[in-house]
Structure 1
Amino acid sequence: MGSIGPFQILIIALVILVLFGRGRISEMMGDFGKGVKSFRKGLNDEDNAAEEAKPSARIEGPSHEAKPAGETVESAPAATGDKTAS
């Protein structure tokens, strides 16, 4: 007595069809499908954002501009009172 058979499911489906009508049921199912599609898209967007946020394994060089080996960097005069540089 506790189980629902196929005949009872058919009667419930017919009552729902009479109450809501065929157009309204198809509209609700379309809205449900759009909601599921939007939900899946949101999950995929979060997964893509998480993958992009991962640090890369690339090794970065120094943050300053490196000079070629042949060029020298001119230094400012020392603060020890050396007045010959002026």
Structure 2
Amino acid sequence: MGEISITKLLVIGALIVLLFGTKKLRTLGGDLGSAIKGFKKAMNDDETSAKSANTADTAGDRITHKD
């Protein structure tokens, strides 16, 4: 079977471009990029909400302990 060389990868890339076309591949790349950005934004929002919830719980515990 052998190793995957750079020439084999170039041939596979050329075949993909011929099959799908550059416009469809460009659209696919843009969609993938926006999906990754959305995922990162959701992860950051979850971390922020978890930190604020943790801070609110800690403040509530302090008030409870003082009573």
- The TM-score, its normalising length taken from structure 2, stands at 0.81
Equivalent pairs counted in the alignment come to 63
Q: Which amino acid aligns with 2:39?
A: F
Q: What do you get for the CA RMSD once the two structures are aligned?
A: 2.2
C-alpha deviations, 1:14-65, integer Å up to 9, x for none?
00000000000000000000010000001001000101101345854x89xx
Q: Which runs of 5+ in 2 are unaligned?
A: none
2:3 maps to what in 1? 3
Question: What displacement does 1:2 show?
Answer: 2.5
Q: Using the alignment, how far apart are the partners of 1:40 and 1:21 within structure 2?
A: 29
Offset, 1:3: 1.1
Q: Which has the higher contact order (CA 8 A, sep 6+)?
A: 2
Percentage of identical aligned residues = 32
More helix by share: 2
Q: Whose radius of gyration is greater, 1 or 2?
A: 1
Query: Where do residues 5-84 of structure 1 align in structure 2 (5 Å cutoff)?
Result: 5-54=5-54, 55-57=57-59, 59-60=62-63
Q: TM-score, normalised by structure 1?
A: 0.64
